[in-house]
Each structure stands twice: as C-alpha cells, then as structure tokens.
Amino acid sequence: MLTAVRQHTDNQPELALVLGSGLGALADEVDDAVAIPTSVLPGYPQSTVEGHAGKLVFGTLEGRKVLFIQGRVHLYEGHSPRALGVPVRLAHALGARHLILTNAAGGLNPDWSPGTLMLITDHINMAMTSPLAGPVEEGEVRFPDMSSAYDSEWMENAKNLAVRRNLTVQQGVYLWTAGPSYETPAEINFFRRIGADAVGMSTVPEAIQAAALGIKVLGISTITNLAAGLHGTSLNHDEVLEVGSEVREHLAAWVRAIVAVPLPAV
C-alpha cells in the first residue's frame, strides 16, 4: 500500500485529516494537491457511502504538508473492525504524528442547534469492538492508554482560535455506535444518561488506532441534527450532508487556523 502511494507522491505529511460526511470539500483548500483514489491502493478498504469520496489528497495547507483522508470507512459498510484502522496506520507509515478527525454527529444536548461545532473531549465506544483486535503490529501498543485520547493542549489551542474568530464551539463526549440505523429514542435517552453529548458512526476506531501508534488527536464534530426523540421529525442522511456543507466554510477557516499554528509536541 505504501509503495503504491509512493508511486504517486513523495509527500511526507506531518498531519493527516479525516473528513467526515459532507466535509470532504475541505480538501479543495489544499495547494499542490495530489489525489490518489483509494481503489488503486492494495489492501485499502473501500468507501461505499455518499459523502465519502474514496480518495487520499496530499498537499500543502498553510505551509504544512498534510494528507486529507476522504476515504473513511465504517463498520456498517461491512468492513472488519481492523480495517477501520487502516487509514490511520497508513498516515502513520507516511510520517504523520498528528491527526484531526472530523465527523457529522447527532446532538444529545437539546440546546445545540444543527450546525453547532463540538470539540471532542473524550469518547464512549458503544460499538464494543476495536481496530486493534488481532495481532499487534510493529510500533503499536497492545493495551493503549485511553485516558487522554484527545490531546488537551491541542484542544485548548483550537478553542482559543475559535474564540478569536467569533466562532461558538462546544465541547463534549462523542459516542460511537455500529450503525447504520440511527438510534432509537430509548437508546438516545440511555446515551444521555451515560454522559454522551454527540452520537455518530465513526471517529472512535481512528482515535483508538492513533492511541496505539502514539499519534496526537484533535476531534471535531459537526452537530448536523438533534438525535432521535429530541425533535419532532425523522432523521435522514441528506439532512446530515446538507448541514455539513452549510458549516463547511466556518469549519474550513477554523481548520486552516488550527493547521497554521505550531502543533503540540509529540
């Protein structure tokens, strides 16, 4: 897989960004872009969901070498838990030691309107599986510590940059479900009681994989809808994509600012 990437680019990204549903266009911001369809990479699991282009985009953003991963994969696509860690393993093999994870999520706080941005302070793994299940790869830890899975210094810096831009940003706990069905109101009620602020079908396996490799993580959720049972209407993926694209500009400007300042030391 690494050799196949190297046939297209010798870019050694410092930072990788995984783009969630409707947020893929952030990669359009990159200079000197080299886009590689993940279909040409042997062993890379393929994206099957609308809103995930199945591409790796290498380039420069704010003078920093970056890799945009538009090839996120999910458990509900039928991939093995282990496959969910492949994009992060590849980013690490290419040199990235910092990872920004973005996603679209349902909000569990009834006061948060669609379009709210949330820094992820911690997560809850309700899919009850892990990309680390299976043999330990070289350079990985068997039992990674998850007590600071999302880097607090980086989060603080990101929060300050948001404040400077007059951007309101919330902070909270992201909960991972296997999907693909949205949650029932009873599940949402349960998730609120156990401390979740946002719910979605991604991000957590990537954060676990990053922890095993010693990669620093910053997580950003776009709350695209209130979670099931917290509002009158039903949920659908089009709404998720639509709200994602509405906040894209704010999010893109904020991410640029985050990328422009020094990254926390590894």
Instruction: Select 47 or 224, whichever has its Cβ closest to ligand HPA.
Output: 224
Among 225, 248, 250, 255, binds ligand HPA (CB under 6 A): 225
Verify binding: residue 251, ligand HPA, rule CB under 6 A: no
- Does residue 240 interact with ligand HPA by CB under 6 A? yes
Active-site hit among 201, 211, 227, 228: 201
52, 79, 123, 250: which one is catalytic? Answer: 52
- Residue 201 within binding range of ligand HPA, rule CB under 6 A: yes
State which of residues 1, 235, 252, 253 lies at the interface with ligand HPA (CB under 6 A). 235
Active site residue 137: no
Catalytic residue among 29, 47, 74, 92: 74
Q: Which residue has the tokens 């872009």?
A: 33
Q: Which stretch binds ligand HPA (CB under 6 A): 31-39, 142-150, 161-169, 194-202?
A: 194-202
CA–CA dist 205, 61 (Å, integer): 26
Which residues lie near ligand HPA (CB under 6 A)? Answer: 104-106, 182-183, 199-201, 224-225, 227, 235, 240
**Residues catalogued as catalytic:** 21, 52, 74, 76-77, 104, 201-202, 225, 237
